[in-house]
Chain A
């Protein structure tokens, strides 16, 4: 099924991207071509194949745990130094609760 402009708008909404109409028109055929190419994987029967979610070298151990110790962390003013807007030791954001 080809990817429509409506699909592109829906995905942009999920991805929190405020795309312009021009961007939507440009991306639609490009994304459609790439997703079409990806259909190639359907040539392979993978019913018996385990998905590989991470690299584990032969004989290797997955997800080693480290001791849960408290260590030094960034001071508050340093952690806030790159914030677009900060105040009273917090990140400032626009009002979260939207009015009807």
Chain B
């Protein structure tokens, strides 16, 4: 049996029936990583010792006949933007090259408390800024479905690890699509819960009003299970909501007949048929399952990219001010005085995209431009959020493409930042509104080389249960393999 091809519930069943040990599952994954990672380059750092220790702990529970926690023995990869105590966390930046966090993020602590085995830290765009993982200061990651293509980003390493069976489940972070888009590019499921659903304590901050932590999986059930574990109020993150977390798996298999699915016309204007045809087939499949399909309008969609890139860069310029070479991270040598130390450290430690975004954010917040850019964007954000609230008066779920383009070639877009930003059009809207979203596989493009297409589903604030239910019904109907 291939222990690396299992889902989280299969791993737990295997342990429960003593057909394999958690240590075997862990070692099998580490072996596969040694074989495949030099080519995929999904991982930046492995936490082998910590993983084996945790696996043995799970095996002791089995030996003692104790009840097994929900993620017992499940191998998990963690985006390197999420801190892990004692395990180097770089955020794929040179400025944090040797940073060893003194504490665990809440999401990682909750996963381990639920029996998960943390295998290591995955590559991403530096400070989660990018859509291809090419902005990593270390190396690009390749798409396991096609090595000439990018895995998407910014959580490209996590998506690639799950797609290549180098982990069963992974954690990513999503600010404007950084979980959903790489899930789509790598042909797996990836979810961002409602803003406030999952604690960000220990997530390296990029844009605090938009940042989320969320799970990747090869099945909707795995995503539901991991989300349930990491979700919920956390005193260490004051933005988490004090709202009970439902048992997503309990309602996962419920019938979706009568669920109203909205299709926003703005997301299909000018969409290329290589993506559009698959999404249309996906919508037809949902109709066949008994969902009621309704045409809707989200009229401010075309302003979302401008709005998003003003807000996220403004917040980034403020959040990244902490990298000054004083308390942790890089300090450049050969400076004369404090100010010069700051400037030299930041120039040496940050890559081009991070500098670009700090510059943009500093500009839109600067005296004389604040009203015209930042305040204006916050007002437009209200309009975009209102579009969704009005749509959800009529429909339960909204279905769109996740990305307007299939996975592109490595190097293809690196020199044109604006073009790269524009490709985020379908994912940034939900981030601005704070609603939950999931991307599920929706077949492959019809033309060679047959690349993965992702379908995005969105729901009302805190209606993750409904979202997962529709995603699961779609998966069960064979929707993931649509051609």
A binding-site residues for B, Cβ under 8 Å: 3, 7-8, 11-12, 14-20, 23, 26-27, 30-31, 33-35, 37-44, 46, 49-58, 60-61, 63-64, 66, 74, 78-79, 81-85, 91, 93-96, 98
Is the CB–CB distance between B328 and A53 below 8 Å?
A: no
Is there an interface contact between B383 and A57, defined as CB atoms closer than 8 Å? Answer: no
- A91 CB to nearest B CB, Å: 5
In the complex, chain B residues whose CB is within 8 Å of the CB of A41: 303, 306-307, 310, 376-377, 380
Which residues from B are CB-within-8-Å of A60? 196, 241, 461
User: Bound complex: CA of A18 vs CA of B345, how far in Å?
Assistant: 8
Specify which of A7, A56, A98 is in contact with B337 (CB 8 Å cutoff).
A98
- Closest chain-A Cβ to B217's Cβ sits at a distance in Å of 25
Contact in complex: B373, A49 (CB < 8 Å): no
* Residue among B238, B300, B341, B362 facing the most chain A CB atoms (10 A cut-off): B362
Contact partner of A42 (CB less than 8 A), chosen from B342, B358, B376, is B376
**In angstroms, how far is the closest chain A Cβ from the Cβ of B333?**
10
B418 at the interface (CB under 8 A from A): yes
Main secondary structure of the interface of A (DSSP, over half): loop
A16 touches B379 (CB 8 A): no
Q: Does B102 lie within 8 Å of A81, measured CB to CB?
A: yes
Would you call A54 and B209 a contact (CB within 8 A)? yes
B195 touches A55 (CB 8 A): yes
Q: Are B102 and A31 in contact (CB under 8 A)?
A: no
A-B contact pairs, 8 of them (CB 8 A): A12-B359, A15-B358, A16-B339, A17-B347, A37-B306, A40-B302, A51-B378, A78-B102
Contact B329 A82 (CB under 8 A): yes
Is the CB–CB distance between A91 and B382 below 8 Å?
Answer: no
Q: Which residues of B contact A (CB under 8 A)?
A: 98-100, 102-103, 194-196, 209, 235, 238-239, 241-242, 300, 302-303, 305-307, 309-310, 317, 321, 324-331, 335-344, 346-347, 350, 352, 355-356, 358-360, 362-364, 366, 373, 375-383, 385, 389, 417-418, 421, 433-434, 461-462
Whether the Cβ atoms of B421 and A34 lie closer than 8 Å is: yes
Question: What distance in Å separates the Cβ of B41 from its nearest Cβ neighbour in chain A?
Answer: 26
In angstroms, how far is the closest chain B Cβ from the Cβ of A75?
9
Q: How far is the CB of B274 from chain A (nearest CB, A)?
A: 25
Contact of A83 with B241 in the complex, beta carbons under 8 Å: no
Q: Which residue of B lies closest to A14 (CB)?
A: B362
CB distance from A26 to the nearest CB of B (A): 8
Give complex CA distance A34, B305 in Å. 10
Select A17's contact among B195, B300, B326, B355, beta carbons within 8 Å: B355
In the assembled complex, which residues on chain B have CB atoms less than 8 Å from the CB atom of A35?
360, 363, 373
Asked if A50 and B99 sit within 8 Å, CB to CB, the answer is no
Choice from A18, A57, A63, A94 contacting B238 with Cβ under 8 Å = A63
Which residue of the partner chain B has the closest CB to A65? B238
Q: A52-B385, A54-B209 are in contact. Are A94 and B359 (CB under 8 A)?
A: no
| Chain B nearest Cβ from A22, distance in angstroms | 11
Point out the residues of chain B lying under 8 angstroms from A11, CB to CB: 359, 362-363, 366
Which of chain A's residues have a CB closer than 8 A to the CB of B362? 11, 14-15
Residue of A nearest to B362 (CB): A15
The answer to whether A31 and B306 touch across the interface, beta carbons within 8 angstroms, is no
Which residues of the other chain, A, contact B417 by a CB distance below 8 angstroms?
30, 34
**A39 — nearest CB in chain B belongs to which residue?**
B306
Residues of chain B within 8 A of A56, CB atoms compared: 434
Taken together as a complex, chains A and B put the C-alpha atoms of A94 and B333 apart, in Å, by 11
For A64, list chain B residues within 8 Å (CB).
238, 242
Inter-chain contact A57/B194, CB cutoff 8 Å = yes
Which listed residue (A23, A33, A82) contacts B418, Cβ 8 A? A33
Partner of A18, one of B326, B337, B338, B347: B347
The answer to whether B382 and A51 have CB atoms under 8 Å apart is yes
Residues of chain B within 8 A (CB-CB) of A44 are 300, 303, 380, 383
Q: A19-B355, A94-B337 are in contact. Are A30 and B462 (CB under 8 A)?
A: no
A41 to chain B, nearest CB (A): 5
Taking CB atoms, residues of chain B closer than 8 Å to A66 are 235, 238
Given A31-B359, A55-B209, A94-B337, A38 and B306 touching (CB < 8 A)? yes
Q: How far is the CA of A96 from the CA of B326 in the complex (A)?
A: 12
Separation of A35 and B331 alpha carbons in the complex (Å):
31
User: A50-B382, A66-B235 provided; 8 other pairs, C-beta below 8 A?
Assistant: A30-B418, A44-B300, A49-B382, A55-B196, A57-B195, A63-B238, A82-B100, A84-B326
Contact of B381 among A34, A52, A84, A98 (CB under 8 A): A52
Question: Do residues A94 and B343 form an inter-chain contact, with CB atoms below 8 A?
Answer: no
User: By the criterion CB–CB under 8 Å, are B382 and A82 in contact?
Assistant: no
Task: List, in ascending order, chain A residues with CB within 8 A of B355's CB.
Answer: 17, 19, 23, 27
A17 engages B307 (CB within 8 Å):
no
**A94 → chain B, closest Cβ, in Å?**
5
With a cutoff of 8 Å between Cβ atoms, the chain B residues found around residue A58 in the complex are 389, 461
Chain B residues with Cβ below 8 Å from A3 are 363
Contact B324 A16 (CB under 8 A): yes
The answer to whether A96 touches B338, judged by C-beta atoms less than 8 angstroms apart, is yes
The answer to whether B341 and A8 have CB atoms under 8 Å apart is no
| Distance between Cα atoms of A49 and B376 in the complex (Å) | 9
> Which among B196, B238, B342, B347 is the interface contact of A19 at CB below 8 angstroms?
B347
